[in-house]
């Protein structure tokens, strides 16, 4: 059995301010933009005890991916 889990997060707290935004006289705030891409995958050989041994013959794979994207206006 093999598996993997991942999460890619982009939000206003972790993002840096852009170069152009820092030059303006009143400092512009970063936009409210949250993106979250997450998922998991699991794979392995098909094996049913006393019924079927699919090692090196049959394999399964299951994948799930979720994506959340929230936008808004600057405060």
Instruction: Read off the tokens for 74.
Output: 């600057």
Angle at 54 between CA 50 and CA 57, to 5 degrees: 155
Could you state, in order of their start, the residue ranges of all structural domains in the chain?
2-71
pLDDT in tens, 18-33: 666 666 556 666 667 7
Q: What is the separation of C-alpha 40 from the centre of its chain, rounded to a whole number of angstroms?
A: 9
**What pLDDT does residue 64 have?**
97
pTM of the entire predicted model: 0.64
């Amino acid at each position: 059995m093999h598996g993997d889990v991942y999460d890619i997060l982009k939000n206003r707290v972790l993002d840096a301010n852009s170069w152009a935004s820092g030059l303006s006289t009143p400092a512009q705030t970063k936009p409210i933009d949250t993106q979250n891409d997450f998922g998991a995958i699991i794979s392995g050989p098909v094996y049913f005890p006393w019924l079927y041994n699919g090692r090196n013959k049959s394999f399964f794979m299951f994948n799930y991916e979720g994506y959340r994207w929230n936008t808004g206006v600057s405060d």
